[in-house]
Amino acid sequence: MKYDEIPSDLFTNNRSRLAAALSGKALAVVHSADIPWRCADGSMPFLQNSDLFYLSGIDQEETILLLMPGHPDPALREILFVRETSELIAIWEGHKVTIEEAQKISGIGTVKWSSEFDAVFRRLVREAETVWLNHNEHGRSSAPVNFSLDDRFRRLCQERHPDLRYERLAPVLHRLRAEKSDHEIALVQRACDITAKGFERLLRFVKPGVMEYEIEAELLHEFVRHGSRGFAYQPIIASGKNACVLHYIVNDQPCRDGDLLLLDVAAEYGNYNSDLTRTIPVNGKYTPRQRAVYDAVHRILRLCIDELIVPGKHLKDVYHKEVARATEDELIALGLLDPQVVAEERAQEDLPEEKRAYRKYFMHGVSHSLGLDVHDVTPAENVFVENMIVTVEPGIYLPEEGFGVRLENDIVVKTGGNIDLMAHIPIDADEIEAMMAATA
């Protein structure tokens, strides 16, 4: 792996927290991801199932974790199954983790080959009162049914053992994964630090005439050379009016003199992700209008980080509405909204947010959880919790004026003051202009 060895304490503690949440004679099963096939005999890069990595640290296909915390035999409370290698596999695919390596990485004492899973599961399932099965229950997932190994195993298990009691593992894992440990925060910070290096490289590189895809290449070079697998997500490198397409990923246009360049780009590290957005002037200098909009978005971002985000606050019902009202005030000051219209809308408490006038200029959410997934899982309660890592990403988009501004930092939610993991990445407009001028 490109990343440094992660202490096994992270995964041991994660399993302990999960074990404490499983009552009675519980048996839980989590599978690795499939190798994603592309076409013919080609495959795409392997990306581990986040839940399996969270609980074991194994970054390899054909891995299964079986947990039975209440079993009287300590050796059977945690069992990890990994793929058995061979001389042929080593020649064609390279090294696979050994049993001893898997023990060291995961902190699990009982490690077996994946071919032994069926026999062990048939034995332990007879002793279980409840079987906990995993499934991707992210609210925005559109993956088809029976898409993953977890999905296929769930269907097979329920067919073979219809009389057992089954529970959903995902809601439990969502609550556990929302609160990040010190190890996890450090891994996200490492991803943020690599992202910072890429952004600083861009401030020296961007100028009129550069292609969006050239900027993408510069970022990838910087990310990989510092131990990242690459981009945490498909990069958005949007110059001029392209910034008003929220998920613009074509990245094939020239950056023109006088345009703003919206960069929603970030690195991952050790399967943990960062998420950064900056908006910079292609020629190194914001116009007065661009600067006014930029400063408005920057003020909203600071308000979120310094005042609005606190543990216990509901994201959608409270926080997003607070940000919306602040955005309305900024849009009025920019001459984009009629204050009378805004006042009338505020008097209508039951008016849906998507019907309000500000949505013409700010049409997406403000914050999402971040971690092993870029849009990380969150509990059904959808509230900020202590040590949760979230993004803060306000924006204002003006297609009629040919530009948009979005800014984004990643923070750790803390009582008494949030921690900005990207505080060291330039964001103030004066600082960005000064850095671009110094390298012109």
Catalytic, out of 218, 408, 410, 420? 408
Catalytic, out of 406, 410, 420, 433? 406
Catalytic, out of 264, 330, 373, 420? 264
Q: Give the pair of three-digit tokens for residue 438.
A: 């110094």
Catalytic, out of 368, 376, 410, 433? 368
The 8-class DSSP code of residue 114 comes to: G
Residues forming a β-bridge with 396: 405
Q: Cβ(266)–Cβ(226) under 8 Å? A: no
Catalytic, out of 59, 373, 393, 420? 393
Q: Give the pair of three-digit tokens for residue 302.
A: 């600071």
Reply yes or no on whether 408 is catalytic: yes
Catalytic, out of 123, 126, 364, 424? 364
CA distance 59 to 100: 15
Reply yes or no on whether 264 is catalytic: yes
Reply yes or no on whether 375 is catalytic: yes
CA distance 364 to 404: 13
Task: Please state the φ and ψ torsions of residue 341, each to the nearest 5 degrees.
Answer: -65, -45
Q: How long a stretch of residues is the chain?
A: 440
Catalytic, out of 155, 160, 204, 247? 247
Please compute Rg for the chain using Cα positions.
24
DSSP-derived pairing of the beta strands 26-31 and 419-420: unpaired
Q: Give the pair of three-digit tokens for residue 16.
A: 């302990």
The 8-class DSSP code of residue 50 comes to: H
Q: Cβ(111)–Cβ(80) under 8 Å? A: yes
Reply yes or no on whether 401 is catalytic: no
CA distance 239 to 256: 8
* Alpha-carbon 416 to chain mean position: 25
Q: Give the pair of three-digit tokens for residue 419.
A: 């921690």
Q: Cβ(377)–Cβ(369) under 8 Å? A: yes
The CB-side HSE value for 212 (13 A sphere, CA atoms) comes to 22
Reply yes or no on whether 118 is catalytic: no
Q: How many Cβ atoms sit within 10 Å of the Cβ of residue 250?
A: 12
Least Cα distance to 69 among 149, 123, 128 occurs for 128
Q: Cβ(393)–Cβ(408) under 8 Å? A: yes
Question: Alpha helices of 304-428 — where are they, by DSSP H?
Answer: 320-333, 339-347
CA distance 407 to 299: 10
The H-or-E segment that residue 133 falls in is: strand 130-133
Reply yes or no on whether 247 is catalytic: yes
Reply yes or no on whether 161 is catalytic: no
Catalytic, out of 83, 190, 278, 375? 375
CA distance 199 to 232: 14
Reply yes or no on whether 259 is catalytic: no
Active site residues: 41, 247, 264, 275, 364, 368, 375, 393, 397, 406, 408
